[in-house]
């Protein structure tokens, strides 16, 4: 199987701290992959880079065939990401949360509503 997620030489530094130092990764299509490690191991940094929320200082990465640095919009179209807490705002409905997230991604309100409806 071809890898659906790849990373080669990913590095990220925060001040004097090397959060990532040359991470290589290949996740085959159709697999379930877990990223485990102690606090401070770089898990959140890797996920942030792969989801285009953070740019690496060095290295390359692709998600579903799209480069996280040169094609971030394509990566975002192809992924779903839920953090530790699934709802952005617990007072909102699922539809309203999806609509709000769409608007955070700079979608027009009508497009965000249509996409939320499609996802539900």
Cα distance between residue 37 and residue 43, in whole Å: 7
Same-domain status, 29 and 7: yes
**Residue-level pLDDT at 91:** 75
Condensed to tens digits (0 to 9), the pLDDT of residues 46-92 reads 999 999 989 999 999 999 999 999 999 999 999 887 665 555 566 77
pTM of the model: 0.71
Same-domain status, 65 and 7: yes
Same-domain status, 64 and 109: no
**Residue-level pLDDT at 88:** 56
**Residue-level pLDDT at 67:** 97
Cα distance between residue 36 and residue 42, in whole Å: 10
Same-domain status, 61 and 93: no
Total number of domains constituting the chain: 2
Residue 75 lies in a domain: no
What is the CATH number for 54?
3.40.50.300
Containing structural domain, residue 26: 3-70
b/e 9-37 (16+ beta carbons within 10 angstroms → b) = ebbbeeeeeebbeebeeebeeeeeeeeee
Residue 77 lies in a domain: no
**Residue-level pLDDT at 82:** 67
Cite the beta strand spans of the chain per DSSP E: 3-14, 17-28, 58-63, 66-67
**Residue-level pLDDT at 89:** 64
Same-domain status, 118 and 91: yes
**Residue-level pLDDT at 83:** 64
């Amino acid at each position: 199987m071809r890898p659906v997620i790849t990373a080669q030489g990913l590095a990220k530094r925060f001040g004097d701290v090397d959060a990532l130092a040359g991470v290589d990764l290949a996740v085959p299509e159709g697999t379930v992959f877990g990223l485990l490690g102690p606090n401070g191991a770089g898990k959140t940094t890797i996920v942030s880079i792969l989801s285009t929320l953070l740019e690496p200082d060095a290295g390359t990465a692709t998600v579903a065939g799209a480069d996280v640095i040169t094609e971030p919009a394509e990566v975002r179209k192809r992924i779903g990401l839920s953090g530790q807490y699934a709802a952005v705002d617990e007072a909102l409905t699922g539809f309203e949360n999806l609509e709000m997230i769409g608007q955070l991604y700079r979608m027009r309100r009508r497009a965000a509503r249509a996409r939320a409806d499609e996802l539900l």
